[in-house]
Amino acid sequence: MPRSQPAPLADPASAPGARRARRKEARPGELIDAALALFVEKGFAATRVEEVAARAGVSKGTLFLYFPSKEDLFKAVVRETLAGRFTEWNAEFDVFEGDSVALVQYAMRSWWERIGMTPASGITKLVMSEAGTFPEIASFYQQEVINPGLDLVRRILQRGVDRGEFRPLDLDHAVYSLIAPMIFLLMWKHSMAPCCPSSQQLDPVTFIDTQVDLILHGMLKPSTPRR
Amino acid sequence: MPRSQPAPLADPASAPGARRARRKEARPGELIDAALALFVEKGFAATRVEEVAARAGVSKGTLFLYFPSKEDLFKAVVRETLAGRFTEWNAEFDVFEGDSVALVQYAMRSWWERIGMTPASGITKLVMSEAGTFPEIASFYQQEVINPGLDLVRRILQRGVDRGEFRPLDLDHAVYSLIAPMIFLLMWKHSMAPCCPSSQQLDPVTFIDTQVDLILHGMLKPSTPRR
Amino acid sequence: MPRSQPAPLADPASAPGARRARRKEARPGELIDAALALFVEKGFAATRVEEVAARAGVSKGTLFLYFPSKEDLFKAVVRETLAGRFTEWNAEFDVFEGDSVALVQYAMRSWWERIGMTPASGITKLVMSEAGTFPEIASFYQQEVINPGLDLVRRILQRGVDRGEFRPLDLDHAVYSLIAPMIFLLMWKHSMAPCCPSSQQLDPVTFIDTQVDLILHGMLKPSTPRR
Amino acid sequence: MPRSQPAPLADPASAPGARRARRKEARPGELIDAALALFVEKGFAATRVEEVAARAGVSKGTLFLYFPSKEDLFKAVVRETLAGRFTEWNAEFDVFEGDSVALVQYAMRSWWERIGMTPASGITKLVMSEAGTFPEIASFYQQEVINPGLDLVRRILQRGVDRGEFRPLDLDHAVYSLIAPMIFLLMWKHSMAPCCPSSQQLDPVTFIDTQVDLILHGMLKPSTPRR
DNA sequence: TATGAATGAGCCTTCATTCAT
DNA sequence: CATGAATGAAGGCTCATTCAT
């Protein structure tokens, strides 16, 4: 998860006293933030460690003080950025009181606000792009993010079915109806949009709402009256 | 589009006569096939031209006889793999006689058979992964593939609306309901599936059918009787 | 020595019959002409054999039919371009009937017309430029061109001394007074002039006349009346 | 201008303290010296950057720390070797008090001692040899060295004419009478002499004195009594 | 701990040379 | 003889990593 304040590109001895100590503790995080941004923007191979160090305001040598290699830095970026967010979400959705239509809408919008629109969204793009080069990372990501995410979605849909709001669904496949737009949106945002003017017409919030609307009404029982 | 037969790694003097000429014509295609496979598997940067040449059964120097640089090879891969497929498809869909539900199903299944399940599918993954490094390629892809694809989908949906089969749709956003599953499926197939056993449970054909089913019924007029 | 007609850059089967035979004999010469021009213009290393072949209107392979290597081609260029010109000149000067001032003027102007202003002048530039890489060639050139040239000049000066037109000279060093301007002019013409506008102000003929004038009057006996 | 002491090929940990810093400042100069020697000896194209680095006692990568490319290294060699020597010389000659004959002799001998006999002399040979490949360098050399040099010579000759020591001269051409022997001598020294035993008979100092003597007496007024 | 100069393995690219046709 | 497709050794340059300071 990105630090609240971006690392200054150069910080020549500004603060007075116990600054050094605080900096020292913050170093790994600043480096990870810088690496996340650059990896997402340019890919793993095209990002030079010197760039990462510069963006974090330290020298190249310092980076290797905290991360034994570029590859380890990458793994740290992935691990750090996805630290246990699902327990929180699971709990949140468990006590949700509205109908399942509202829950799905709420879940998707929450995801956008907490992940999709933040720099953290870049790591999904990153992991998928570099999966071939780092199968281990991809596998790790699958277990730590994808599977919990699928479970979360499954529980939401199951709730709708159980409450009689959704028609009986093949949940094993239906879950992807919610996951797919999210993955698509991330890839789109980080790949096509930055360099293709015509791609920027896709407004993420409207996109999400539209997808949810289309998908939901296809999941509702036929008898459910349209709004 | 991949050549029908992969280049033999070594083929010492088998055919009799105008062997050279035939080889020369085949070379670019063989190289593009090899490059496609390796780029998709390992990414652009991690693929060495020597590997590509070796896989195509030629030496490193020969590759540069046909492509002035590694980047040009990449561009050629992208261009070749998507060469004018949309005119054909547009014509095909124009004369489609079934209802729009069937047309959408047919379109999605056709896409899977002709693109999704072939090596050509890898280039979308490739382009999105390397978009940051090759904005020019991404832009090219947007114009030559994405936009025509969106137009094609739009025409299909418009047809359904015009025929009274679909409820009125905001086409600018609805088109992504069909595009998103395709992009997702490609990324999944080329990123997570190869290295994550639990990801292989996602059967592409079932996935497509499920998504189409969910999406379609959401698009149909409420009055349309369910099956 | 350059062939009278430059090789056509491409000559696809124009003449009727015994053309092939004539071409065949002319090949080495055409290649040498092409090589001379390119070597002079771009240096030995920067000239590609394919360029030479193309300029001679043949394929790369054909060049190697006549010259076993690029280096041999270079040697052939040097040898061919300086084929025994001094016997002719020696004889010519032996029967010269004017005074030695006129002979020196005549010799220098002849040199300019027969060597300096022709493409042959380029090989001196070439040999001196590449002497470090081809000591053997430089040595060959020294023996075949430089030394005979020095001898020729020496005989001219000796004649002037013998006839009482020139003051007694240290011929071992005086000969360079005539050689130096020639070498300088060649280097200037082939190095600075082609790329430096301000260098083109040096008119070769005026330059030669001026140098001869200055040197001669310095060599004449003080008693010799000025014209 | 060459450093006074050639770089040691390997100097493992000899000095105590701020060793790194001192090395860093010295590096460009050491590299330029090494490059000068090798470029002059073998030509630009035939010199490998790795050789230059090795001769300077560093690794290949280090060279690129100081010079972005081989060509830039070459340019640096040219620039460094000729850096503003003319202002100094102009001033020196302005206050010369002897007659113009002595001034010309002094100028030529100075040139030999400060340029001609030093490694710096090699760059003129280098620039002229590689002018075809690096027109930009040749142009730069023309402006920064040749033209100032011609101006310097012109002022010397003009002084002689103004003081009534030289006969009226076409200075535009006469200047080359002093420049030509210098260029010739450099080319000779760096091209023919190293590989041709018979060329080594040309003693540079004697050559210069002889040329000056011959030229000067041709420039003096006829009325000027010979010494 | 932090620095950044130094390293050197590795990769893209060139081009003289070969040889099957 | 002529061709030009193919080769592969060589070299310029990059950049992750090390280590003396």
Domain boundary among C76, C101, C126: C76
Is D205 a member of any domain? yes
- Counting beta carbons within 10 angstroms of the beta carbon of residue C49, is it exposed (0 to 12), middle (13 to 18) or buried (19 or more)? middle
pLDDT per residue as tens digits for the range B43-78: 899 999 999 999 999 999 999 999 999 999 999 999
Is A7 a member of any domain? no
Domain boundary among B54, B76, B98: B76
All residue ranges of chain A with pLDDT < 50 are 1-19, 222-227
Cα separation, B155 vs B175, whole angstroms: 9
Q: B100 is in which domain, residue-wise?
A: 84-217
Cα separation, A143 vs A151, whole angstroms: 11
Specify whether C54 is located in the same domain as C94.
no
Which residue in D has a C-alpha nearest to residue C203's C-alpha? D173
Quick one: CA dihedral B34, B39, B41, B42, positive or negative? positive
Cα separation, D156 vs D86, whole angstroms: 13
Which CATH number belongs to the domain containing residue C145 in this structure?
Answer: 1.10.357
Instruction: Tell me which chain D residues have a C-beta less than 8 angstroms from the C-beta of C180.
Output: 180-181, 184-185, 211
Q: Mean pLDDT throughout C10-25?
A: 49
Specify whether C50 is located in the same domain as C97.
no
Specify whether B92 is located in the same domain as B115.
yes
Which CATH number belongs to the domain containing residue A68 in this structure?
Answer: 1.10.10.60
Domain count of chain B? 2
Specify whether D117 is located in the same domain as D46.
no
Using C1' positions and the CA of B17, the closest nucleotide is E21
Percent of residues, chain D, with pLDDT higher than 90: 49
* A53 against C12, higher pLDDT: A53
Phi, psi of C220, deg, nearest 5: -65, 150
Domain boundary among C76, C107, C131: C76
Instruction: Tell me which chain A residues have a C-beta less than 8 angstroms from the C-beta of B224.
Output: none
Quick one: CA dihedral A39, A186, A125, B72, positive or negative? negative
Mean pLDDT (chain C) is: 83
- Say if the Cβ atoms of B132 and A213 lie within 8 Å: no
Specify whether D88 is located in the same domain as D26.
no
- Say if the Cβ atoms of D218 and C222 lie within 8 Å: no
Q: Which chain C residues in 27-86 sit with Cβ < 7 A of strand F?
A: 27, 58-62, 64-65
Is C100 a member of any domain? yes
HEC-encoded secondary structure of A74-135: HHHHHHHHCCCCHHHHHHHHHCCCCCHHHHHHHHHHHHHHHHHCCCCHHHHHHHHHHCCCCH
Task: Evaluate whether D104 touches D111 at the Cβ level (below 8 Å).
Answer: no
* B24 against B135, higher pLDDT: B135
- Say if the Cβ atoms of D43 and C132 lie within 8 Å: yes
- Say if the Cβ atoms of A181 and B180 lie within 8 Å: yes
Specify whether B112 is located in the same domain as B202.
yes
Is C1 a member of any domain? no
Cα separation, A212 vs A178, whole angstroms: 8
Q: Which residues pair with B166 in a beta bridge?
A: B220
| Nearest CB neighbour to C174, from listed D185, D188, D214 | D214
Maximum C-alpha span of chain B: 69
Q: Mean pLDDT throughout C136-152?
A: 89
Is A106 a member of any domain? yes
pLDDT at C7 over 50: no
DSSP string, C154-176: HHHHHHHHHTTSB----HHHHHH
pLDDT in tens, chain D (227 residues): 444 444 444 444 444 335 566 577 788 999 999 999 999 888 899 999 999 999 999 999 999 999 999 999 999 999 888 777 788 888 888 899 999 889 999 999 999 999 999 988 998 999 999 898 888 888 888 888 899 999 999 999 999 889 888 888 888 988 999 999 999 999 999 999 888 887 767 899 999 999 998 888 855 555 444 44
Q: Mean pLDDT throughout C180-195?
A: 92
Is D5 a member of any domain? no
Instruction: Tell me which chain C residues have a C-beta less than 8 angstroms from the C-beta of D214.
Output: 174, 177, 215, 218-219
Specify whether C199 is located in the same domain as C170.
yes
Is A225 a member of any domain? no
The bases of strand E with some atom under 7 A from any protein CB are 1-21
Is A186 a member of any domain? yes
Specify whether A197 is located in the same domain as A89.
yes
- Say if the Cβ atoms of A128 and B199 lie within 8 Å: no
Q: Which chain B residues in 12-41 sit with Cβ < 7 A of strand F?
A: 20, 23-24, 27
> What tokens were used for D94?
């302005």
Specify whether B72 is located in the same domain as B89.
no
Specify whether A168 is located in the same domain as A189.
yes
* A192 against C85, higher pLDDT: A192
Cα separation, B184 vs B195, whole angstroms: 16
Specify whether D110 is located in the same domain as D36.
no
pLDDT at C2 over 50: no
Specify whether C122 is located in the same domain as C172.
yes
Instruction: Tell me which chain B residues have a C-beta less than 8 angstroms from the C-beta of A210.
Output: 170, 173-174, 176-177
